[in-house]
Chain A
Amino acid sequence: MTQLTADIRVDNPYSAGLLAKRTPWVILAGSVLVALVAFWLLSNAEGGGFNIVGALLVGALLYTVVIYVVSYLIEGSRKATDRLVTALVGGAFLLALLPLVSLVFTVVTNGSNRFDIEFFTHSMRNVVGAGGGAVHAIVGTVLMTLTAAVISVPIGLMTSIYLVEYGRGPLARAITFFVDVMTGIPSIVAGLFAYSVFAIFFGPGIKLGIAGAIALSVLMIPVVVRSSEDMLKLVPNELREAAYALGVPKWLTVVKVVLPTSIAGIMTGVMLAIARVIGETAPLLIAAGFTNNLNYNMVEGRMQSLPVMVYNQYVSQGTDPQAYLDRAWAGALTLILIVMVLNLAARIIAKVFAPKTGR
């Protein structure tokens, strides 16, 4: 046996007819390099700017073609298709990163122009052109979002308790189904609904902060229900049964056993729901309107919010468009930061307050 194998001149019989492990990476580096050089030469010849995104795209395309052909010649068609799909799937992921990177980059670079103290200490009252700030919008956003949370958290939490602890039969099924359907309500329809309610009772043309809060809570309730329902379902049944065995009434079991066990998950869900509605523009534009003045009163007068301010600065640019655009970008940066902080806080809460497992 040893005599026979020694005669065959193959280093490793298992890798015969296959590409080496590092070959795809070499081909990738090579094709990106070729594309970069080609684009650099082209930009020198035509005098245009160096298009790095285009170069990377062409490089990725080149790699896809080359790896397919090379693999087809060495490994056969089945392996070649596999490598082609791997390249395409990886490419899809990189393609999705492109808008994310571009968006974050532009928001941070453009937003930092006006991300100053004046932006957070002044409203837009009597401001034409440069200057001014977003205090009125930030106050409005905080007030309306908090009111929406105050309305929707109790309703959402009690509904999820009903679904998990009490609900059986057609009513529970209907609620589950329509909560799912409700997650799909377009945000602008929620705004139109809130406007219609107040228009019917207080006359047309009315725009109030509380109407904006109601529109937001229509969007928020289903999110809260879904997340807390999932969290309540995670509570082990043994805990409930242990409580019942000790003679604890059902409602006290829910309040003292089930809720404390799942409170971390529920709070995370609430934070994520807030993060979702805090960026909503359309319903607030319809229901709460827009204004340049600071307004603390939910039930009187229009109320500005951060997303609506960004939109407003963008669509109605005055004589000095750059000042309006700068404010819009600074508002967008603030908004993204708020959403990021909320998301981060939600994850931290989930980590810190998670029930201690194990005994």
Chain B
Amino acid sequence: MTSPATSARTPRTKQRLGDRIFSNSALTAGTLILAILAAVAGFLVLESVPALTTDPEEIDILNGQPFWSYVAPLVFGTLWASALALAMAIPVSIGIALFISHFAPRRIAQGLGYIVDLLAAVPSVVFGLWGGNVLAPAVQPLYTWLTQNLGWFPLFAPPASGTGRTILTAAIVLAVMVLPIITALSREVFLQTPVLHEEAALALGATRWEMIRTAVLPFARPGIISASMLGLGRALGETMAVAMVLSASGGITLAVLTPSNPGTIAANIALRFPEAFGLNTNLLIATGLILFAITLVVNMIARAIINRRKEFSGAN
């Protein structure tokens, strides 16, 4: 701002009514967004308090067990399914992003990007339908084979599920769903790599892969991390695909091919909510609040990484 002495001399801009109305309504809309986010948190807390304060005996779904021992397997299932999904999606997404940004011929690269983006446009309920009716029967024989031949490995412990609707199948569907998000973001970061770095590596005699390893990947690492975190946020909150694919029976287990799988918070809400009444509704909203908190933390970390990177990217 200018000092008072100079501002006294400069003619003051005329305050028009239209200007004031317009800028105030813009400000109101902006603040409204903060208010909505606060309201989401506030109303969820308000509605979940009754479930946390009343005696567990009075809530049918809990069946007498305390709140936290009901939530623990769900939290575990949510994290476990998302972790499996990311373990599959991250390497493939980085591969696709590299293929589009550095390997495919320039002319068709953009078209290939659109094809991957198409995956993001498919509604989750269609993924659920496909996962339950097509994918699960298709992978079931593979699961049987894995439990018979690699059953000593803790993840593949027998018995194999007869329907194929295990947590691994749900994780595969989740992986397909987060794939376009991670791919799109990492592709963007790969394309931002300073061309001079790439050309310097090539001029020193590096092969294409050596150029990528020494110039592109180090530059893109924070971007890949934050893209994966955003994918994690999506996987944690995904509801329908899991609800329609996974046959959950509760309990905490690391085996991914058995008929007894932990459920996830979001899928559990979707399956139970339509029939829930009274305090059961409050209980489900309380689990939703926990999911909200988890995704909020994940997203905030991801955004913080992206924002920090923005400040440095100008220097490169």
In the complex, per-residue mask of A272-292: 1 if CB is within 8 Å of any chain B CB, else 0 = 000100111110011001100
CB distance from B193 to the nearest CB of A (A): 16
For B26, B30, B116, B266, the residue with the greatest tally of chain A CB atoms inside 10 Å of its CB is: B30
Residues of chain A within 8 A (CB-CB) of B39 are: 193, 197
Q: When chains A and B are docked, how far (Å) is the Cα of A149 from the Cα of B117?
A: 23
Given contacts A165-B26, A178-B34, contact A185 B40 (CB under 8 A): yes
Given contacts A103-B130, A193-B44, A252-B18, contact A175 B119 (CB under 8 A): no
Nearest A residue to B21 by beta-carbon distance?
A251
Stretch at the interface among B92-100, B145-153, B156-164: B92-100
Stretch at the interface among A4-12, A28-36, A335-343: A335-343
Q: Does A65 contact B (CB under 8 A)?
A: no
Q: Does B140 contact A (CB under 8 A)?
A: no
Stretch at the interface among B52-60, B68-76, B292-300: B292-300
Q: Determine whether the beta carbon of B125 is less than 8 Å from that of A335.
A: yes
Q: Does A205 contact B (CB under 8 A)?
A: yes
Q: Does B29 contact A (CB under 8 A)?
A: yes
Residues of chain A within 8 A (CB-CB) of B103 are: 86, 89-90
- Which A residues from 193 to 208 make CB contacts under 8 A with B? 193, 195-197, 199-200, 204-205
Residues of chain A within 8 A (CB-CB) of B100 are: 93
Q: Determine whether the beta carbon of B30 is less than 8 Å from that of A171.
A: yes
In the complex, per-residue mask of B117-151: 1 if CB is within 8 Å of any chain A CB, else 0 = 01101111111111011110000000000000000
Q: Determine whether the beta carbon of B292 is less than 8 Å from that of A186.
A: yes
Determine chain B's interface SS by DSSP, over half rule: helix
Q: When chains A and B are docked, how far (Å) is the Cα of A95 from the Cα of B244?
A: 23
In the complex, per-residue mask of A240-274: 1 if CB is within 8 Å of any chain B CB, else 0 = 00000000011110110000000000000000000
- Which A residues from 151 to 202 make CB contacts under 8 A with B? 154-159, 161-163, 165-167, 171-172, 174-175, 177-190, 192-193, 195-197, 199-200
Stretch at the interface among A37-45, A116-124, A128-136, A307-315: A307-315
User: Interface size on B (CB < 8 Å)?
Assistant: 93
Q: Determine whether the beta carbon of A311 is less than 8 Å from that of B122.
A: no
Q: Determine whether the beta carbon of B124 is less than 8 Å from that of A279.
A: yes
Q: Determine whether the beta carbon of B291 is less than 8 Å from that of A189.
A: yes
Q: Does A144 contact B (CB under 8 A)?
A: no
CB distance from B47 to the nearest CB of A (A): 4
Residues of chain B within 8 A (CB-CB) of A289 are: 274
Q: When chains A and B are docked, how far (Å) is the Cα of A159 from the Cα of B31?
A: 8
Q: When chains A and B are docked, how far (Å) is the Cα of A343 from the Cα of B134?
A: 26
- Count of A-B residue pairs with CB < 8 Å: 272
Q: Does A47 contact B (CB under 8 A)?
A: no
Given contacts A92-B99, A249-B18, contact A311 B116 (CB under 8 A): no
Residues of chain A within 8 A (CB-CB) of B230 are: 184
Q: When chains A and B are docked, how far (Å) is the Cα of A286 from the Cα of B298?
A: 24
Interface residues on A, range: 35 or more
Q: When chains A and B are docked, how far (Å) is the Cα of A93 from the Cα of B40?
A: 39
Q: Which residue in A79, A89, A340 is a CB contact (below 8 Å) of B99?
A: A89
Q: Determine whether the beta carbon of A179 is less than 8 Å from that of B96.
A: no
Nearest A residue to B279 by beta-carbon distance?
A204
Q: Does B192 contact A (CB under 8 A)?
A: no
Residues of chain B within 8 A (CB-CB) of A99 are: 119, 130, 135, 176
Q: Determine whether the beta carbon of B129 is less than 8 Å from that of A328.
A: yes
Q: Determine whether the beta carbon of A189 is less than 8 Å from that of B40.
A: yes
Q: Determine whether the beta carbon of B30 is less than 8 Å from that of A175.
A: yes
Q: Determine whether the beta carbon of B299 is less than 8 Å from that of A339.
A: no
Q: Which residue in A86, A89, A174, A307 is a CB contact (below 8 Å) of B125?
A: A307
Q: Does B27 contact A (CB under 8 A)?
A: yes
Q: When chains A and B are docked, how far (Å) is the Cα of A42 from the Cα of B249?
A: 38
Q: Determine whether the beta carbon of B295 is less than 8 Å from that of A155.
A: no
CB distance from B32 to the nearest CB of A (A): 6
Q: When chains A and B are docked, how far (Å) is the Cα of A310 from the Cα of B122?
A: 14
Residues of chain B within 8 A (CB-CB) of A162 are: 23, 26-27, 29-30
Q: Determine whether the beta carbon of A181 is less than 8 Å from that of B37.
A: yes
Q: When chains A and B are docked, how far (Å) is the Cα of A285 from the Cα of B124?
A: 13
Q: Does A332 contact B (CB under 8 A)?
A: yes
Q: Determine whether the beta carbon of A286 is less than 8 Å from that of B269.
A: yes
Given contacts A82-B207, A100-B119, contact A200 B43 (CB under 8 A): yes
Q: When chains A and B are docked, how far (Å) is the Cα of A343 from the Cα of B114?
A: 11
Q: Does B204 contact A (CB under 8 A)?
A: no
In the complex, per-residue mask of B164-185: 1 if CB is within 8 Å of any chain A CB, else 0 = 0000000000001001000100
Q: Determine whether the beta carbon of A184 is less than 8 Å from that of B234.
A: yes
Q: Determine whether the beta carbon of B43 is less than 8 Å from that of A196.
A: yes
Q: Determine whether the beta carbon of B126 is less than 8 Å from that of A332.
A: yes
Q: Does A73 contact B (CB under 8 A)?
A: no
Q: When chains A and B are docked, how far (Å) is the Cα of A86 from the Cα of B210?
A: 12
Q: Determine whether the beta carbon of B239 is less than 8 Å from that of A155.
A: no
Residues of chain B within 8 A (CB-CB) of A336 are: 122-123, 126
Nearest A residue to B296 by beta-carbon distance?
A181
29 contacts between A and B (CB under 8 A): A85-B208, A89-B96, A91-B95, A96-B119, A99-B135, A103-B126, A103-B130, A106-B133, A178-B34, A178-B37, A180-B303, A181-B37, A182-B36, A184-B302, A186-B295, A187-B239, A188-B288, A188-B291, A189-B292, A192-B288, A193-B44, A251-B19, A281-B123, A281-B239, A282-B269, A315-B244, A329-B129, A332-B123, A343-B121
Q: Which 5 A-B residue pairs are closest in the complex by CB-CB distance? A: A186-B237, A279-B123, A92-B95, A158-B29, A184-B299
Given known contacts A89-B96, A103-B122, A279-B125, what 5 new A-B pairs fall within 8 Å (CB)?
A78-B207, A89-B99, A180-B303, A185-B237, A336-B122
Q: Which residues of A contact B (CB under 8 A)?
A: 78-79, 81-82, 85-86, 88-93, 95-97, 99-100, 102-103, 106-107, 110, 154-159, 161-163, 165-167, 171-172, 174-175, 177-190, 192-193, 195-197, 199-200, 204-205, 218, 221-222, 225, 249-252, 254-255, 275, 278-282, 285-286, 289-290, 307, 310-311, 314-315, 325, 328-329, 332, 335-336, 339-340, 343
